[in-house]
Structure 1
Amino acid sequence: MPVSADTILRIARTRPSDNGEAPRILGVDDWAWRRGRRYGTILVDLETNNVVDLLPDREKDTLSEGLGDHPQAIWESGGFCEVRSLCVRH
């Protein structure tokens, strides 16, 4: 079933992402706020499939800050995710 980006954002923003427990495994991937023009980073709890955070860009400092909010979590990145190469290099 096709779903618009606006629908996904609305669901992610209204869905409770905190069940009282900190995420143990975070998925990190690129996110298109506007395809071809503006990209961000999405953090997902891989055990519950809940969106933890939508970061405004793909910058290393923004990602470090976003991951710093969850120091206990192990994180995995998508195969072609640009943030993966940023983290590996720095």
Structure 2
Amino acid sequence: MIVDELVLAIDGLFLSVCKISEMTTQFLDLTLLNKIKRENETLIDKVFDVKASVEQKNKMNKKVIDLRGRISMLIDKKWVMTFELNVINA
């Protein structure tokens, strides 16, 4: 049961990140992105600790690591846009 709940949480976060990545960068909120990043780190810890088959763990690990990359990319994208706006307005 715990594995199923963990998979649902990972899938839910994955869908949220996919939806967020469709948004225009100017509407992205760094606070929200950092909250999502912390949530993903919590999921990574839970995947590490959960008792599951090797196949299940590998599948979950792959997804949370992919999520980490997507979230980092969104945060970097927002920082670059913020920096560019500050340079333009200076």
- TM-score, structure 1 normalization: 0.35
Larger % of strand: which? 1
Q: Please, what TM-score do these two structures have when normalized by structure 2?
A: 0.35
Larger RCO of the pair (alpha carbons < 8 Å, separation 6+) = 2
Greater fraction helix: 2
